[in-house]
């Protein structure tokens, strides 16, 4: 090889390295631009859920759902979840804040879904938290879950047992969610066990809407929109995953220490944070509700 050629070669190598470095800087800046919409800085473009949560990710969180032993095998899938979420993304569902906050909200929401639909057990294959979306409705309910209601009266003979991804129980809840989604769920509660898009929509509606007057929605809690009052903090009620448990089922699971169902929800949450690449260290404070005053008991109802 003559000198000129050697010189040219080394120049090309250097140019290659420089181009590579420039490329890396551009890519990482573009990434930071998308992922890093920190306080104050305005984000030009919000990511949709599908942009950071793929069908493979869905399978990673719910790997056992299509096994023959799963009661809802073949029913739940990523496509229906994304279809359902599209209705709520403009309202901020998993599109609020930076990518970390988006993933934390998604982990929290799906942790409740998994807890409520799991058929896993402590030594189940792939671990106890791999069995979410095993069910789509309550098997052998022992009641019609009908309570007299002027607003949402029961249709005679129809059962309002638990159905869906974050199961809806009782006529008045079917009525409320159906009203919001503009579906006549009072006559057709069964749709939540036959239409996976609708079932996910009902679950996300439950997450996005305040369940009761003067209470925040789970969404507002996980995105930091809800600020506790002095009275709340006097009752050990702080923002965190634990507050979402209190909203959804506090009467049963909160306020009496280490409730096993509460712990199962928290464990799913931590596991999902890990699987989504957020890490359990970013779970935030107050993941449990064992010390919180129960927000609501059925006896409070007027």
Ligand X SMILES: *[C@@H]1O[C@H](CO)[C@@H](O)[C@H](O)[C@H]1NC(C)=O
Q: Which uninterrupted H or E stretch holds 71?
A: none
Q: Is 131 or 241 the residue whose CB approaches ligand X more closely? A: 241
Q: Is 111 an interacting residue with respect to ligand X (CB under 6 A)?
A: no
Q: Is 96 an interacting residue with respect to ligand X (CB under 6 A)?
A: yes
Q: Is 198 an interacting residue with respect to ligand X (CB under 6 A)?
A: yes
Instruction: Name all contacts of 48-57 with Cβ < 8 Å and 24+ positions apart.
Output: 48/86, 48/89, 48/95, 49/82, 49/85, 49/89, 49/93, 49/94, 49/95, 49/102, 49/106, 50/82, 52/99, 52/102, 52/103, 53/94, 53/103, 53/106, 53/276, 54/78, 55/79, 57/275, 57/276
Q: Is 262 an interacting residue with respect to ligand X (CB under 6 A)?
A: no
One residue of 53, 62, 64, 95 binding ligand X per CB under 6 A: 95
Q: Is 98 an interacting residue with respect to ligand X (CB under 6 A)?
A: yes
Q: Is 189 an interacting residue with respect to ligand X (CB under 6 A)?
A: no
Among residues 116, 137, 253, 271, the one annotated as catalytic is 116
Query: What minimum distance in Å lies between the beta carbon of 198 and ligand X?
Result: 4
Q: Which uninterrupted H or E stretch holds 12?
A: helix 3-35
What residues between 137 and 176 interact with ligand X by CB under 6 A?
Answer: none
Single out the segment in contact with ligand X by CB under 6 A; choices: 7-15, 96-104, 115-123, 155-163: 96-104
Q: Is 37 an interacting residue with respect to ligand X (CB under 6 A)?
A: yes
Active site residue 116: yes
Give dist(CA 155, CA 159) in Å, integer. 9
One residue of 122, 231, 299, 301 binding ligand X per CB under 6 A: 231
Total residues at the site for ligand X (CB under 6 A)?
17
Q: Is 106 or 198 the residue whose CB approaches ligand X more closely? A: 198
CA dihedral sign, ordered 181, 186, 189, 195? negative
Alpha-carbon distance values, 225 to 47, 88, 207, 217, 219 (Å):
19, 16, 14, 9, 8
Q: Is 209 an interacting residue with respect to ligand X (CB under 6 A)?
A: no
One residue of 43, 50, 73, 124 binding ligand X per CB under 6 A: 43
Q: Copy the structure tokens of residue 76.
A: 């739940």
Give dist(CA 299, CA 107) in Å, integer. 32
Interaction site with ligand X (CB under 6 A) = 37, 43, 46, 92, 95-98, 195, 197-198, 201, 231, 235, 237, 293, 295
């Amino acid at each position: 090889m003559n000198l000129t050629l050697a010189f040219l070669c080394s120049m090309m190598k250097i140019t290659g390295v420089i181009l590579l470095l420039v490329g890396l800087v551009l890519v990482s800046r573009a990434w930071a631009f998308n992922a890093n919409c920190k306080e104050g800085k305005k984000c030009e473009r919000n990511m949709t859920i599908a942009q950071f949560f793929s069908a493979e990710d869905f399978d990673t969180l719910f790997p056992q759902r299509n096994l023959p032993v799963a009661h809802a095998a073949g029913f739940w899938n990523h496509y229906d979840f994304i279809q359902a979420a599209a209705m709520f993304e403009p309202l901020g569902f998993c599109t609020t804040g930076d990518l970390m906050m988006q993933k934390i909200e998604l982990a929290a929401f799906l942790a409740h879904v998994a807890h409520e639909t799991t058929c896993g057990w402590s030594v189940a294959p792939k671990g106890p938290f791999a069995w979410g979306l095993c069910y789509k409705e309550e098997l052998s309910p022992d009641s019609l879950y009908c309570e007299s209601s002027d607003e949402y009266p029961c249709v005679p003979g129809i059962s309002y047992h638990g159905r869906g991804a974050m199961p809806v129980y009782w006529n008045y809840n079917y009525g409320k969610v159906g009203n919001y989604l503009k579906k006549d769920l009072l006559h057709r509660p069964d749709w939540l066990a036959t239409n996976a898009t609708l079932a996910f929509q009902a679950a996300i509606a439950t997450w996005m809407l305040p369940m009761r007057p003067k209470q925040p929605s789970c969404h507002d809690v996980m995105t930091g929109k809800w600020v506790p009052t002095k009275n709340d903090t006097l009752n050990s009620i702080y923002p965190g995953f634990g507050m979402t448990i209190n909203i959804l089922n506090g009467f049963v699971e909160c306020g009496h220490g280490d409730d096993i169902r509460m712990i199962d929800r928290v464990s799913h949450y931590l596991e999902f944070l890990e699987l989504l690449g957020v890490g359990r260290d970013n779970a935030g404070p107050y993941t449990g509700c064992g010390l919180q005053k129960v927000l609501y008991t059925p006896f409070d109802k007027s």
